[in-house]
Amino acid sequence: MTAVAIRGVRKLFGQIEVLHSVDVEIDDGDFVILVGPSGCGKTTLLRMIAGLEDVSHGEILIGGRRVNDIAPKARDVAMVFQNYALYPHMTVRQNMSFALRLARTARVEIDKRVERAAEILGLGQLLDRSPRQLSGGQRQRVAMGRALVRNPQVFLFDEPLSNLDAKLRVQMRAEIKELQQRLKTTTVYVTHDQIEAMTMADKIVIMRNGYVEQTGAPLDLYDHPANQFVAGFLGSPSMNFLDGEIAEGAMIAADGLRWPLPESFAAQPLSGRKVVYGIRPEHITITEAGIPARVQLVEPTGSETQVVLQASGSTLIAASRERIIAQPGTILHIMVDPARAHLFDPESGKRLAA
């Protein structure tokens, strides 16, 4: 069953169109992440699902029901805001029970749900504190608790981790994912961090400038990006790109170096075609013989070594699980795995299929 359906949705602020005919289908129980650079429209889309923004064109359905004209409170969604938006004059318990009190839920039921949520989120000790007395991470949990007690059809998260420090972020990432898997509630999550998207999502929706660039499972998008933008957005360090031309069964770069093509391309006569050649850092290996590249910088992260190289007029990053020791300025040889190379059309950015 489709929990949330976004069909042909466009959004205008005055004369400016910020979302151009967006279509997204979200299945029941899925963890879907809307990801993209600032200004791509992901937060606007989320707010439209919540009902905080109107839909200019198109429709949004929740649980099969069209909700365009339905007020937020009647949509059965709960939202966790980026800045938590806790009620400063209420205690944690009151914050969490506010919605239920408004709905005139029985006192017993309210207490039960609050206790349960507090237990899941580790807020038991903090129930009678006021938000002022809590740390950032604790406030974030209260915000989640507030959403949790409502047992909504859909959870909405608006960049909830961006105000936390790095370590806490990693921890919360896992907790949120775990929570969602346990509760199996449909979740729509907005972030600009592609790592969050990769690690947490069942399905990723990548957006840019109001368009959906690609939708799919994280690894699908990683291995088969639809265009250059998606290819460069997912993965850290990001994919390397080289300009060149196909000739003689290989990709000839600006300086004449030959880069190997995937088998399917090598067989075809695409001679003369200008392309952008993409290869991920982990698919570049440092070898004895191969394409020469000058070392610029060696960055060991502990678990892998990233080497910044200059080749064919571009800066490339190679990532290896082995420890590489090389002085800046020396020449190393690299080899790429041809099967992992991608070709993109220079003008449209679209990936070329074999």
| Site residues, another protein (CB under 8 A) | 50-53, 71-73, 77-79, 81-89, 98-99, 102-103, 146, 150
Distance, in Å, from the CA atom of 89 to the CA atom of 96, rounded to the nearest integer, reads 13
> What Rg do the C-alpha atoms of the chain give, in angstroms?
24
The helix (run of H) or strand (run of E) holding residue 220 is helix 218-223
Distance, in Å, from the CA atom of 224 to the CA atom of 132, rounded to the nearest integer, reads 46
Q: For residue 178, which of 92, 120, 218 has the smallest C-alpha distance?
A: 120
| Contact indicator for 208, 229 with CB cutoff of 8 Å | yes
| Contact indicator for 92, 126 with CB cutoff of 8 Å | yes
CB of residue 244 to another protein, shortest distance in Å: 44
* 114: amino acid identity, one letter: V
Token duo for residue 80: 């966790």
CB of residue 214 to another protein, shortest distance in Å: 29
Q: Based on CB atoms, which residue is closest to another protein, 50 or 311?
A: 50
Q: Based on CB atoms, which residue is closest to another protein, 97 or 312?
A: 97
CB of residue 87 to another protein, shortest distance in Å: 6
CB of residue 249 to another protein, shortest distance in Å: 56
Contacts 24+ apart (CB under 8 A), 13-22: 17/56, 17/210, 18/44, 18/210, 19/44, 19/45, 19/210, 20/210, 20/211, 21/57, 21/58, 22/58, 22/207, 22/210, 22/211, 22/212
**Angle (nearest 5°) at CA 175 between 170 and 180:** 130
Distance, in Å, from the CA atom of 4 to the CA atom of 21, rounded to the nearest integer, reads 16
Q: Based on CB atoms, which residue is closest to another protein, 142 or 250?
A: 142
CB of residue 47 to another protein, shortest distance in Å: 8
CB of residue 14 to another protein, shortest distance in Å: 10
CB of residue 81 to another protein, shortest distance in Å: 5
